[in-house]
Structure formats: C-alpha cells, structure tokens
Amino acid sequence: MVPVEKLRKANIQRFDIIVNMLFIDCYYQKNDCGYRLYELSKQHGPSKFIRLIKSFEDAGFYRKYLPITEDYYLNGDGAHRLSCCLYFDLKKVPAEVNQKKYKYVNHYGLKWLKSNYSDCDIEKIVNFYCKIHFNNLQKIKNKIFNLIKNNYDDTHIENVNEYLELLFDINNVN
C-alpha cells in the first residue's frame, strides 16, 4: 500500500488530474464547467469515467493496483483512478512499481494546458489546482499564470523536483 499523499506530490505537475477532479465535482453538481473541460482534454469518454466514479462511491479503490515508477510517478496509466483517490480522500492504495521508466514526465503540464484551453478555462483549472496542492497560495497562482502567458514549455522537465523549483522560484518567470 502506498500513501495517496505521496502519489499526489509525485504527480503535482499533471493538470489532467485536476481536470478529472473538476469533472468529478461537476458530476456531484459542485460546478458547471467540469464536463466541458474534461471533453476538451481529449481523454477517454465521460461515461467510462462516470462508471469509475460510481465504483469509488460504492467500493473505494478496488482495482488491482496503480502502476507507478520508483519515485511514485504514474507509469502511463492511472490518472483517473488517482483523481478519484484524491477526490474521495483515500489515504492508501495498492501500487506496483513498474521497472520501465515512463518517458514523459510532464506531458500534461503547462504547455498542454495552454494548447487545450482558453485563458478563462486555464484560470478555473489553475485556481482549482492551487486549492488542491497549495491551499490557494497566490504567489504560485501568479507564477503559473505568468509561465503560461509567456508560453513556457515545460515538456523538458525531467522530474517533479525540477517542476517544484520552477513554481517556487518566484523571481524567475521564464
């Protein structure tokens, strides 16, 4: 069993997880944008995700495991399940370390956000992201908005620590 908090921190650069959580919020009628944002993300169909949400309602995490790397990064699959784990505030889930390193660390990061969403949508996603990860820390929100505005390409980032350094280095906007 792996602490969900470690999984959250290791995947902090993935905005697709935030879009998924907004979809779950919309499913429970807590927002009116989650479904549309999810559709724009070009992930798998919403009906499949709704079945997963319902299964978490009924049984929690009942799948075999989440595939992860040694440093707790999702290894190619599991973003929807991790979104549900975070949303339903699960503490621990089964995970299996896959020896193959996943080649993309930040393929759902800032560049993905900028290329898939309008400025208004990005604001909603980033606000929810900062609420989930940083207790609405304004400096981090400002940093993310500046990076997106300046078309920062985060696809070269190779690990979560580099991503956190980028976000917390408030002086360096580019």
pLDDT in tens, 46-103: 999 999 999 999 888 887 888 898 888 888 778 999 999 999 999 999 999 876 666 5
Number of other CB atoms surrounding residue 164 within 10 Å? 14
Tell me: do 53 and 9 sit in the same domain: yes
- Is position 74 within any domain? yes
The total of structural domains in the chain comes to 2
Look at residue 174 and tell me if it is in a domain.
no
CB 35 within 8 A of CB 26: yes
Q: Is residue 58 domain-shared with residue 123, that is, in the same domain?
A: no
Which residues are paired to 67 by β-bridges? 96
CA-CA distance, 33 to 29, in Å (whole number)? 10
Domain that holds residue 123: 110-168
Q: Does 173 reside within a domain?
A: no
In a domain, 105, yes or no: no
pLDDT score, position 172: 52
DSSP code, position 88? T
Predicted local distance difference test score (pLDDT) of residue 103:
58
Query: What's this model's pTM, rounded to 2 decimal places?
Result: 0.89
Q: Is the pLDDT of residue 158 over 90?
A: no
